[in-house]
Amino acid sequence: MNSLRVRIIVLGLALTAGLSAPATATATAAESPAPSPTVEEQRLDKAVPQEILRRSGFDDVAPRLEGELGEAHSYAQARRILVHEGSALWRRAVDRAQGRGPAGGDLSRDDDRPLYWARLGMTREVRTWEPEFGLSDGQRAALLGELEKTSRGQTDVRYSHGKKMRRILVTGFDPFTLDRDIRISNPSGATALALDGSVIRTAEGPARVETVVFPVRWQDFTDGTVERTLRPYLKKVDLFTTVSQGRVGRFDVERTNGAWRGGFPDNDNIGRTETVPVSDPASQPQWTTTTLPYKEIVAADTGRFPVYDHTEVTEIPAGGTAAVVRPDGPTEGSTARAGGGGNYLSNEIAYRATLLRDRLGLHDTLPGGHVHTPVLQFGAGNTDPATGAVTDPEFVQNRVDIIAQVRSIITVAADVTFRK
């Protein structure tokens, strides 16, 4: 009986303590420990990324952010820091690519890799940061989201309000397949840096190009990063094209895009095999098409590499069960298994962007589609990822030539479009 009385007293004290606990204890319970770096972020410690950062001067980006976050005393202050520093990283990368300010090292200015690796250094700082005031999972995700948007140019799209200046929107991608060769660069990302804010002279007058860069991660696309970024601008622009790295030695204007993910691993080594997840799936088409003037682009002399009107797709025919390659595009009622651009994120950004165009009622008025660049290759004597250099003259020349040809392709598309 005495032991029962003791247990009742102890229980009463515990309940009283719980009811009278300060509010800070409840807040602390909502906090979560900092997660570990992602697979993508873990590559940052390898020798090649560190060399790229050092030889571009971008090795100061993550340490500076670490210091600033260390001085933050609230979530709101941390958010302001990340918006500022993310935007500053994008502008610094664009300025470097376009010859403004110091090069910061001997790495060529056209290189997109300093931006990629510096951003990962920043996201790792935020992901592993444990401030004294505490962060919930939702707050940390929101901070990472602000950093991703600002450091990719997604909040930096600026068009003049005058009617005389036409508007063009171009997208690029991060490097990918980094476990195959961690030295890899993505010419579409390099093109985005080189063209952002530039003016193209067309037969019908000037056109301003604005660019953004997207991650090579399935989850970001599932979460709607493409639609969220492009929706505010598609009704305002005169032309758009998504751009990615494609096949060796050639450009392709992809005629058809498919609603299928083929499962190839992304930069976090995660694969997805499924129908492309979009809002309102009941009205989702299996295929979307380019509205770029592909015939004129292919016929024009735009540069060193041949340019093809690429029409091949892979489908399951209506009533069938096996996938079939169709060289001339999909047949009626078929199910997509690969668009012209395959079934990876290159195809998916093309599918999402053109589907958004169509859902906004712009199919007949807005030229838009996808351009695949050649694979960016190292020089003949620099092909071993284990022993090769991070750059060489042929590698740089290949990237410079690809950037110049994308500019020419866009100029041809603009000339044709604006004459109509």
Per-residue pLDDT tens over the stretch 39-92: 999 999 999 999 999 999 999 999 999 999 999 999 999 999 999 999 999 999
Using a pLDDT cut of 70, give the percent of the chain over it.
92
Is residue 374 within 8 A of residue 308, CB to CB? The reply is: no
Closest by Cα among 274, 165, 174 to 215: 174
How far does the chain reach from its first CA to its final CA, in angstroms? Answer: 96
Residue 391 φ then ψ, to 5°? -155, 165
Over the stretch 103-128, which tens digit does the pLDDT of each residue have? Answer: 999 999 999 999 999 999 999 999 99
Gap between the Cα atoms of 116 and 49, Å rounded = 9
Summarize the confidence of residues 17-40 as an average pLDDT. 58
Residue 225: its H or E element: helix 225-234
Over the stretch 208-267, which tens digit does the pLDDT of each residue have? Answer: 999 999 999 999 999 999 999 999 999 999 999 999 999 999 999 999 999 999 999 999
pTM over 0.75: yes
| pLDDT of res. 420 | 78
- Work out the pLDDT band at 164, boundaries 50, 70, 90: confident
| pLDDT of res. 18 | 36
Summarize the confidence of residues 172-182 as an average pLDDT. 98
- Could you list the beta-strand ranges (E) of 227-384: 239-245, 251-254, 256-258, 260-262, 273-275, 287-289, 307-310, 313-316, 324-326, 335-338, 368-373
| pLDDT of res. 24 | 37
Summarize the confidence of residues 22-48 as an average pLDDT. 74
Is pLDDT of 367 > 50?
yes
Q: Of 157-171, 201-215, 403-417, where does mean pLDDT reach its minimum?
A: 157-171
Q: Of 6-10, 275-279, 346-350, where does mean pLDDT reach its minimum?
A: 6-10
Tokens encoding 300: 């024009």
| pLDDT of res. 30 | 56
Half-sphere exposure of 80 (CA within 13 A, CB side): 8
Q: What is the mean pLDDT of the chain?
A: 93
Closest by Cα among 373, 359, 336, 368 to 190: 373
| pLDDT of res. 160 | 82
| pLDDT of res. 31 | 64
- Work out the pLDDT band at 392, boundaries 50, 70, 90: very high
- Work out the pLDDT band at 7, boundaries 50, 70, 90: very low
Is pLDDT of 198 > 60?
yes
Over the stretch 303-349, which tens digit does the pLDDT of each residue have? Answer: 999 999 999 999 999 999 999 999 999 999 999 999 999 999 999 99
Using a pLDDT cut of 90, give the percent of the chain over it.
90
Burial state string for 286-304 with b = 16 or more CB within 10 A and e = fewer than 16? bbbbbbbbbeebbebebbe
Render 116-133 in DSSP notation, one character per residue: HHHHHHHHHHHHH---TT
Is residue 150 within 8 A of residue 86, CB to CB? The reply is: yes
Which amino acid is located at 356 in the chain? L
| 3-state class (DSSP) for residue 315 | strand
- Pairing outcome for strands 256-258 and 287-289: antiparallel
